Amino acid sequence: MNNKGIEYQKATTKKMLLYASPRLGIQFFISIIDFALLFLYKDVYSLNGLFVGIALALGKLSVGFSQFIIGWASDHTKTRWGRRKPYIIIMTPILCITFIMLLLPGLFLGANPPENSLFIWLVIFNCLSQAAYSVTTPYHAWNAELFPVDQRPKVSSFQNMFNIIGAVIITLFTLVILTDVKDKIEADPTVIPTNFLVSILFFAFVLITMSFFSTIALPVENTPEYGSKMKDDLKIILKNKNFLLVTFMQGFCSLAIAMISSILAKFADNVVHLGSDTNIVVSALMVIAMLFGLFWFKHRIETKGKKKTLIFIFLWGIIILPFSLLGFFPFAQSMIYGIVYISFVAIAIGGWYLFPYIMYADIADDDQKKTGELKAGIYAGFPSIILNIFQAISLFFTGWLIELPLITNVPDTEPFSIGLLLMGPIGSLFLIIALLFGKKFVTLDFSWEKQ
């Protein structure tokens, strides 16, 4: 029991896996939604690219503010099911339904729908689905109430294990099924390919069943009822300098991680030439290396502490990423270089993925010891407003990099954008900023953890 009356029991591995398992279905949604929407509505249904961009941007605004509002609301909810369960039970079906609506518009609008109808459909259901995605805020906030601080690294490693499994499944879906959808729909617009239809329904089924099973099976958290107003809670978290610095540190780190993750497959294909099955090769390498990074850095957190481990991860990335510049030289056109570089980068990415789930739960725990209220929901939800801005910046840098001038003087190689080589040094610069934030200003290990 902590000093404000919240009782923690040592969790079993079974309980941790039970809590972590919904990340599989959530990862299905994350991995497919942006790419699939752009591909389906622009390439398959021929919606104007400007309309698609507007709809996707409105969705990002929707999720940013919804996560903050739902997080705060879940902090102030009191039912016999606790604070977090009602939101997961209510919002997960909405997420599944809107997911199906978005990815299967032909079921409802018919073949070759008018452009205006398609645009309105995309805007409405993308905003609704992104708002429903804020179900992840009470889910992640629950971490601070179910698990003591020393077990959160292990919980995070299990969550990321399910994330990686989900990402692998979606990669296979993209390669085997999604790339074939355009030709089939163009051949017969009145028929939705069966394998595509079944896949989308399967993803929605996994999302809702695993979320429901986990939510029903886990115990209700033991958290006192709070009655503070939103503006008062907002003032408190905005005065929490450590919280804001951690959020900006994550933002600068995400500039590098998101950019590298989205370009790495293109780097492996155009620069290293890993073969025709590049996406599969890169995905397999990243899965193995990220799993290694997850459990290696989890162990380091338990033995060295969170801040020292995070600084080590930043240094690892800062040193490794600039080796992308070796692509200027002919010897880099080899499988050995590609495997080593991609694997070392993925280890750093896997290590970083441990931290977001841990940091905000710990910060909420620290705030609760000062104020008497565990505001894990608002601490989990508010960063999305800031982090979505960083995500937009990262997308800009990614698009800018791949459009830089081509390199044409590497022997036996098709021309490729110089941005594929510069991604490493630029990503390293972002990590240096994150490192300075982390080392100089941020607190991740609290004195009360030792008690």
Indicate if 54 and 86 belong to the same structural domain: yes
Which residue among 196, 225, 254 closes a domain? 225
Which residue among 180, 201, 225 closes a domain? 225
Indicate if 183 and 246 belong to the same structural domain: no
Tens digits of residue pLDDT in 319-368: 999 999 988 887 777 778 888 898 999 999 999 999 999 999 999 999 98
Tokens at 80, concatenated: 């016999």
Indicate if 294 and 432 belong to the same structural domain: yes
Is 409 or 24 the better-scoring residue by pLDDT?
A: 24
Indicate if 189 and 316 belong to the same structural domain: no
Banded pLDDT at 160 (limits 50, 70, 90): very high
Banded pLDDT at 3 (limits 50, 70, 90): very low
Burial of 225 (0-12, 13-18, 19+ CB in 10 A): exposed
Indicate if 220 and 245 belong to the same structural domain: no
Query: What's 79-128 look like in SS3?
Result: CCCCCCHHHHHHHHHHHHHHHHHHHCCHHHHCCCCCHHHHHHHHHHHHHH
Burial of 279 (0-12, 13-18, 19+ CB in 10 A): middle
Task: Pick the closest to residue 383 from 353, 363, 408, 406 (CA basis).
Answer: 363
- Kindly report the average pLDDT of the chain as a whole number: 86
What are the residues facing 416 on neighbouring strands? Answer: 407
The CATH number of whichever domain residue 354 belongs to comes to: 1.20.1250.20
Please state, in angstroms and as integers, the Cα–Cα distance from residue 254 to each residue in 318, 386, 427, 438, following that order: 14, 11, 9, 14
Q: Count structural domains, the chain.
A: 2
Indicate if 113 and 137 belong to the same structural domain: yes
Banded pLDDT at 1 (limits 50, 70, 90): very low
Per-residue model confidence (pLDDT) at position 21: 96
Tens digits of residue pLDDT in 65-98: 899 899 999 988 888 899 999 999 999 999 999 9
Tokens 């979505």 belong to 388
Indicate if 205 and 266 belong to the same structural domain: no
Residue 357's domain comprises 228-451
Indicate if 298 and 363 belong to the same structural domain: yes
Work out the average pLDDT over 136-144. Answer: 93
Distance CA 74, CA 377 (A): 6
Indicate if 337 and 201 belong to the same structural domain: no
Banded pLDDT at 2 (limits 50, 70, 90): very low
Range with the poorest average pLDDT among 137-146, 404-413, 430-439: 404-413
Which residue among 183, 208, 225 closes a domain? 225
Per-residue model confidence (pLDDT) at position 408: 66
Q: What pTM did the predictor assign?
A: 0.85
Indicate if 304 and 163 belong to the same structural domain: no
Indicate if 270 and 375 belong to the same structural domain: yes
Indicate if 124 and 241 belong to the same structural domain: no
